[in-house]
Structure 1
Amino acid sequence: MDRRLHIILVFGMLLSLLGCASSNKSDVAYQKYNQLMRSEKLGSGTKSNLATPDDIPTFVQLKGLVAPGHLYTLYHPSDDKLRGKFRTGFDGVLRLPYKVTINATGMSFQKLKEAVSKRYQKFFQRGVKNVRFSLSRRDYWVEVRGLVKKSGRYLVKRNDSIDKVIDQAGGLKGDLSKDFFVAALRQQGKKYSISLNQYFQSNFFGKSPTWTGGDTLFITRMDEGANSGELPFVTVLGGVLQPGKTLFQSNASLFYYLSKTGGTISNIDYDESYVIRRGPNGLVKLHFDITKMESIPAIYPNDVIFLNAEKKTFWDKFWERTLQVASLISTIAVLIIAL
């Protein structure tokens, strides 16, 4: 009697394990994309340390002031040394003939002009009024470093776009379609960072930084480990022509991310589609059929989409289940003999 009971218990456990192994149900209930569209909009869902359009300073208060990079014309009718064009340095200091230096930071042009006249008074007992000083060009110094082909300092216009500034530095050293890049800016004592992928590949930013002169632009590649905390993205693995990461787009459906990664390959198993998502207790699996619109989940930041690239026919599944049953019977037979 005990032997029969043992056999029944073992048989029941093996059937239970077989059932679990062949189950493709989702780990948790999930929100469908169509449900989302009928209810509310989907936000980014991720707090990022990168700047948003509202975070970018405009420096309106500096518009009427002189800045590093501005070009001036100096002229005196009787002194050849006081004839020429002179530019404010990256440090905001204007260096003129006869070792005259003026820190122009925070000055209006009128104040700077008065300072120039005052400095040259000691060189002329009279006639200092003949020194002509005028503003020729409003350029701005920007230092570009990091992953650009020609690091250095460049003159830009106040509202030049980031891509135009990067082009002056020879262009980006890398591929935006394969990696994620960050532009770290330092302006007037303020520091902030912008995702270049968001800047170039979407309409996330409606404006560029306002250059103030003496600015620093440092281009770097975002570390793999920092991606999830810095930039919302979606990863597509398996079943597509170009697997990889794509920037998260609010309210975009699954098919948007499939198209961004080259589209699906042939012979995928449509009913073996998954989204892997990080939940409060770790990773969870969402199982759905890509051909059934009502089952397609809403995509959230940092989701992983996986499509089974090996489509199984009825006979594939039949033989797979047959082998499982045969293995089960074999195991039971061994246990009966052992008992």
Structure 2
Amino acid sequence: MKEIWQIIIAISIMLGIARAQIENQFGRFENRAKEKTVIELAPKKLEIIPPVLEQVIDPNEYVVGPGDIFGVNIDAMENMYYNITVGPTGDLLIPGVGSENISGLILIKGIDILKHRINETFQNARIDISLINIRTFKVQIIGAVNNPGFAKISALTRLDEAIDVIEGLHRYADEKKILIKRTGENNIIVSLANYINTGSLNDNPILKEGDIVSVPYIEENKQQIYDTFKKMPVIVTGFVMEPGAINFFPGYSLQDYIGLAGGVSEIGNYSKAYLIRSGKKQAADLESIVLPGDQIFVPESTLNILFGKNSLLQTVTAFTSLVLTYLAIQSK
């Protein structure tokens, strides 16, 4: 009889371990998604070599600035060719000739000035100058965007492309009233919604150096926005499809983050999800606004605990079967 009871206890322990392994699969902090979900904090790099253009650059409209690269060919007693970048102060330094400030000039005028300067040193030389690559710079984008800050763009980047660099508009962004503050010029208000609907390039302008883009929030959602520079992610664990760390988005609710984590698994209890803030469980519903560093836990459904795989009912049934088997053996 002692051996039978030892077998019963061993089987019970095995069933308990099996259930613990199932629970560990969902809802433990060490068991997260292999990759961070949704949006990565690392900024995208906008490659411009070779440049991707909408159309041929018009030398009567393009404005030269620091970072533009020129090819300079001087055919005098011997042929000389240089790739030269416009410096941070706007000067183009030509070997054997000197420097000339061409920043802020339209392309055709800048090339004329450079040719005249080279002719002073190399008289009667054939001179060819061409813009061979366009510059990059940073513009500041603030407000209702997913990763506000500075976006690295090229001299021909439009507003929609710049917003893509910082991971797009916030869900509550008012895309019809985007303000562009422009140095030395009047501020302009554009509508990306109108650009999408009509294709109006006036609502999707090419950005300039020094521009500040401000995207407002929709007025009715503005009160629930918690803007912060904190980079602490929101941790979603429990019985969800992709548990792990998700970047913080101002104004997103508990159910939004559960959705970003792939949704509730088949055995999770969506309605019983709760928040842990500063180490304490918070009374919250699915519409509660989440803050940086919050933890969201989705528990297992009661139905699965009672009737699912390795459930309490299965454990009791197995234990009862062993007891009945033992009693049957003893009665013989």
Q: Which TM class, normalised by the smaller chain length?
A: 0.3 to 0.5
Q: Which has the higher contact order (CA 8 A, sep 6+)?
A: 1
